[in-house]
Structure 1
Amino acid sequence: MERQVFIVDDHEEDTRLDLYLSNQMDQLSRSFIQKLIEQEKIKINGQRETLKKYKVKENDVIEIEIPLPKKLDIQPENIPVTIVFEDDDVVIVDKPQGMVVHPAPGNYTGTLVNALLYHCKTLSSINGIIRPGIVHRIDKDTSGLLMVAKNDKAHRCLAEQLKEHSIHRVYAAFVYGNIKEDKGTIDAPIGRHPVDRLKMAVTDRNSKTAITHFEVLQRFGNYTLIEAKLETGRTHQIRVHMSYIQHPLVGDPVYGPKKEKFNLQGQALHAKELGFVHPSTGLYIEFKSPLPDYFNKLLQIIENGSRQN
């Protein structure tokens, strides 16, 4: 059993317990924390806390007991996957568009985790049975670089870097419209959509700080190719932020226009650069991924269309 203790600061007062703890521990999902609350694995000022909607108060002393991870029972599968780098601590994968990162209820096969369990044999157990090794995620229809931890020590180190916003993450994206500024920063908090719970949104309610830096790479009249650098890593951050400034991603089925003429599988978003301090050597390492075929085909179509206009 792992035990952690937190003391609530004044600026965090009136935050729901599960949200407060998920902000403190990025490596644990909010749903996992909610289960710990239900199982009375959390104490507030020495008392077991079972109220799901409890809001923390300044100087609350919160103790959380994290059970030892169960033995992984997700099955390894011989699925081809592009390994960019691998050692005893981490594996860097260039994920194709359309591949789900980890299993979820009702979908326990065909994911990147299944493939890596076959290839690597062992992954970090911190994120439990269905998300072993997963330090950060990219969406199913987002392609590109993803780091995965092979042991718990590496996982904790990488998770801490994520929390400190020190990991270098750069994406290429096609967006609708002609962005006039050559570069800019979107600093707008992101949380669950107040009405549609399947979506994220820019909101001040139960949200987290979200910062995206973007730079225009090329303009094509009605479309713009950009580079987006994440300072934070919220769910759907680039997709939500670009939609927020009226430049949604091309092909985005959730935050973009309902009608899309390119017949894309999903949003045109590619994680092209990933850099971090290695958990064992302490040296900074960085990886780059070329634009995939679907991205280059879209680029050619848009380029041809802009020449004809």
Structure 2
Amino acid sequence: MNLIEEHQVKCLKLPTRLQDYALTNFNYISTKSALKKAIKRKQILINHQPASTATWLENGMLISYISTENASPKVFRLKIEVVYEDHFLAVINKPAGFPTNGNYFKTIERALPFNLKKSDLPDALNFPVPVHRLDNQTQGLLLVAKTIQAKSLLSKAFQNQEIKKCYRAICFGGFSEKTIEINEPIDTHQAKTIISVEDSRVIQSQYFSLLHLTPITGRTHQLRKHLQFIQHPILGDQLYQGDFCTKLAHQGLYLQSFQLEFFHPFCKQLRKINIDLPKKFTKFIELN
């Protein structure tokens, strides 16, 4: 058990609910949702005893916010490019071929302690945690939280669609329009993708296009399903490629998360992070 933050109640004129008091008096609990989760996990103590949502505070009470995380899991020693890192968060360039997380050993999450420095802040996580996911075969930028508060605030920003992600893909076929908007539900849920066509060309008698994809919503396999829907599946997509095929040499899924744009919740600055086109994309485009 590690103490994150502690506060003695003072200057109350009347008994006050814990949920109303903690949000304005604790530095590392910033949302009602985070507070409720901390109470449920027995991370909030009143006079060294677990609190509840029904707790009322009086002057003199001691409120403690503790970390109850388990020890770090066994580390997967996979070298990953770190694109950005500070005490609160990091952005890595996830390689294709590994799941983001899950009940496996060889995951990106288990490799994070091997690649990132542990935060020295009071609410540091025992090990860093991705705050969103990329498919196993998708490569590119992945946002990671290093503290409890960062995890809460970044997760909330994703839920509120305040973090912008942009992808590159090579797909089958050419396009007559430069910009396409797809509004096609996925599993009965609204889903929207904006497509910008960067280049369309014939490679050995077959049309392919390089696209920029901006998912406005975040449904599972949204980009892959939307491109299948308009009959332009992504090259190398074994699940949604259908009858489209090519004899040209290629490797894996040609989908990359190349840009992340977000408001840093602690530095209070807009961060826009980009990475270059992957080598396998350029090699395929340059085929004669």
**Structure 2 CA distance, aligned partners of 1:188 and 1:152?**
36
Change (3 A) 1:79 1:228: same
Match of 1:31 in 2: none
The answer (yes or no) to whether the contact 1:170–1:230 under 8 Å persists in 2 is yes
1:220-299 to 2 correspondences below 5 Å = 220-221=201-202, 222-257=207-242, 259-299=245-285
Q: Which residue of 2 aligns with 1:183?
A: 179
User: CA deviation digits over 1:242-268, x for unaligned, max 9?
Assistant: 101111101101000354434544221
Task: Identify the residue that residue 46 of structure 1 maps to in structure 2.
Answer: none
Q: Which amino acid aligns with 1:255?
A: Y
Correspondences of 1:62-101 after superposition (within 5 Å): 70-101=69-100
Q: 2-side partners of 1:69 and 1:297: how far apart?
A: 48
TM-score normalised according to structure 1 size: 0.64
Q: Paired residues, what number?
A: 217
- Deviations for 1:157-200, whole angstroms, at most 9, x for unmatched residues? 11121112121211111111112221011112212xxxxxxxxx
- Give the alignment of 1:199-218 within 5 angstroms: 204=188, 208-218=189-199
- Quote the sequence identity (%): 30
Runs of 5+ unmatched residues, structure 2: 1-18, 20-32, 34-66, 120-124
179-188 or 72-81, which deviates more: 72-81
- Aligned equivalents of 1:132, 1:86: Cα separation in 2: 11
Is the 8 Å Cα contact of residues 251 and 280 (structure 2) preserved in structure 1?
Answer: no
Secondary structure of the residue that 1:150 maps to in structure 2? Answer: strand
Q: Distance in 2 between matches of 1:261 and 1:153?
A: 49
User: Cα deviations across residues 136-174 of structure 1 (Å, max 9, x unaligned)?
Assistant: 111111111111111121111111211121212111111
1:80 offset after TM fit, Å?
0.8
| 1:100-152 per-position Cα deviation (integer Å, ceiling 9, x unaligned) | 222x33x22x22112212233658xxxx99x9612111111111111111112
1:74 to partner: Cα distance: 2.0
Query: How much does 1:287 deviate?
Result: 0.5
User: Residues 213 and 223 of structure 2 are in contact (CA less than 8 Å); yes or no, is this contact kept in structure 1?
Assistant: yes
AA in 1 matched with 2:167:
Y
When the two chains are superposed, the root-mean-square deviation of aligned CA atoms in Å is: 2.7
CA gap 1:181/1:148 in 2 versus in 1, 3 angstroms: same
Within 2, Cα distance between the matches of 1:100 and 1:219?
31
Q: Is the alpha carbon distance of 1:80 and 1:70 closer, same or farther for their aligned partners in structure 2, counting shifts above 3 Å?
A: same
Provide Cα deviations, 1:35-61, integer angstroms capped at 9, x if missing partner. Answer: xxxxxxxxxxxxxxxxxxxxxxxxxxx
> How do 1:47-66 residues align onto structure 2 when only pairs under 5 Å count?
none
Q: Say which SS state the counterpart of residue 133 (structure 1) adopts.
A: strand
- Structure number, greater radius of gyration: 2
**Per the alignment, in what secondary structure is the counterpart of residue 220 of structure 1?**
strand
